[in-house]
Amino acid sequence: MDFATPPHIAELAEKTRAFVSDKIIPFEKDPRWGSHGPSDEMRAEMNALAKAEGLFMPHGPKEYGGMGLNMIERAFILEASGYSMLGPVAMHCAAPDEGNTHMLNEVANKAQREKYLWPLVEGGRSCFAMTEPDGAGSDPMLLSTTAELTNNGYVINGQKWFITGAHGAAFMIIMAKIKGGANDGEATMFLTKLPREGIEIVKDQNTMDSSFCGAHSVIEYKNLVLQEEDILGEPGKGFQYAQIRLAPARLTHCMRWLGSAQRALDIAADYASKRMAFGKTLGQHEGVSFMLADSEMEIRSSRLSMQQACWVLDHGGRGTTESSIAKVQCSETVWNTVDRAVQILGGKGMTDDTIVARIFQDVRAFRIYDGPSEVHRWSIGGKVIKAIKARNEEVK
What is the distance of C-alpha 199 from the center of its chain?
24
Tell me, yes or no, whether 46 and 144 share the same domain.
no
CATH number, domain of 90, equals 1.10.540.10
Q: Is the pLDDT of residue 395 over 90?
A: no
Regarding whether 313 and 186 lie in a shared domain, the answer is no
The reply to whether 247 and 308 lie within a common domain is yes
- Domain annotation covers residue 113: no
Dist. CA 215–CA 258, nearest whole Å: 22
Q: Please tell me whether residues 267 and 366 are part of one structural domain.
A: yes
24 and 88 fall within a common domain: yes
Using left for φ > 0, alpha for ψ between -120 and 50, and beta otherwise, residue 92 falls in left
* 389 in a structural domain: yes
Q: What is the mean pLDDT of residues 10-22?
A: 98
288 within domain boundaries: yes
In a domain, 313, yes or no: yes
Looking at 236, 255, 289, which one is the last position of a domain? Answer: 236
The DSSP annotation for 66-101 comes to: -----HHHHHHHHHHHTTSTTHHHHTT--TTHHHHH
pLDDT by residue (tens digit) across 33-88? 999 999 999 999 999 999 999 999 999 999 999 999 999 999 999 999 999 999 99
Q: Which domain holds residue 138?
A: 126-236
- Regarding whether 305 and 178 lie in a shared domain, the answer is no
Element housing 38 (H / E): strand 37-38
Task: Compute the average pLDDT of residues 342-364.
Answer: 98
CATH of residue 140's domain is 2.40.110.10
> At residue 136, does pLDDT exceed 90?
no
C-alpha distances in Å from residue 185, one per residue of 69, 217, 244, 288:
37, 26, 21, 56
Among the candidates 75, 94, 113, a domain finishes at 94
Contact, 132 vs 142, CB < 8 A? Answer: yes
Residues 226 and 248 reside in one and the same domain: no
When pLDDT is cut at 50, 70 and 90, the band that residue 216 belongs to is very high
pLDDT by residue (tens digit) across 236-275? 999 999 999 999 999 999 999 999 999 999 999 999 999 9
In a domain, 100, yes or no: no
Q: Would you state the pLDDT for residue 139?
A: 86
The pLDDT of residue 1 is 66
- pLDDT band of residue 141 (cuts 50, 70, 90) is confident
Residue-by-residue DSSP string for 366-395 = GGTTTS-HHHHHHHHHHHHHHHHHHHHHHH
373 and 255 share a domain?
yes
- Provide the whole-model pTM: 0.95
Residues 176 and 89 in one domain: no
Average pLDDT, the chain: 96
- Of 369, 376, 367, residue with least CA distance to 95: 369
Number of structural domains (the chain) is 3
State how far the alpha carbon of 328 is from the alpha carbons of 250, 292, 331, 368, in Å: 10, 21, 5, 10
Distance between CA atoms of 102 and 245, rounded to whole angstroms? 7
| pLDDT for the residue 296 | 98
2 inside domain? no
Give the mean model confidence (pLDDT) for residues 310-330.
Answer: 95
Instruction: Confirm whether 36 is domain-assigned.
Output: yes
The CATH number given to whatever domain includes residue 359 is 1.20.140.10
Q: Is the pLDDT of residue 100 over 70?
A: yes
227 falls in which pLDDT band (50, 70, 90)?
A: very high
Residue that is last in its domain, among 209, 236, 263? 236
* Amino acid of residue 123: G
Q: Work out the percent of the chain whose per-residue pLDDT is above 70.
A: 100
Reply yes or no on whether the pLDDT at 2 is more than 90. no
Q: Is the pLDDT of residue 337 over 70?
A: yes
User: Both 169 and 287 in a single domain?
Assistant: no
